Homo-oligomer: A and B are copies of this chain.
């Protein structure tokens, strides 16, 4: 039996959506506990205020982030991962580890390719 909601959301689309560089940065930054907008701005390197706002809204909409507003003056807003996002973070750490181990090799492969050699010929 097919689930129409699930079918509407193919796996690669889901991944493409959540595995964007800003989404990953935000999820990693929020992994240790609730974070505020200004902390995210500092921790997600290179993100603009506008892109941070858009990505927070996207992740909230996807059910990955919970936005909590505390009625202080001024109101304090915190973002935290849902259980589903916490599970995603676990998978992402594998991918982040891979990227960390291999980014040097990737840069070298690119340099070799651009110099006219294919990796197979190196």
- Which A residues have a C-beta under 8 Å from some C-beta of B? 3, 5-6, 8-16, 18-21, 24-25, 45, 60-64, 66-68, 82, 84, 87-88, 90-92, 94-100, 102-114, 118-120
Query: What CA separation (Å) do A25 and B13 show in the bound complex?
Result: 11
- Which single residue of chain B is at the shortest CB-CB distance from A94? B91
Q: By the criterion CB–CB under 8 Å, are B11 and A106 in contact?
A: no
CB distance from A35 to the nearest CB of B (A): 15
CB distance from A36 to the nearest CB of B (A): 16
Copies of this protein chain in the complex: 2
* Interface of chain A: mostly helix, strand, loop or mixed: helix
* Chain B hits for A102, CB < 8 A: 14, 84, 87-88
- Which single residue of chain B is at the shortest CB-CB distance from A14? B99
Known: A6-B107, A10-B45. 11 other contacts (CB 8 A): A5-B111, A8-B107, A13-B21, A14-B102, A15-B19, A15-B96, A60-B113, A62-B109, A64-B109, A67-B120, A87-B102
Query: What CA separation (Å) do A62 and B92 show in the bound complex?
Result: 20
Q: By the criterion CB–CB under 8 Å, are A103 and B14 in contact?
A: yes
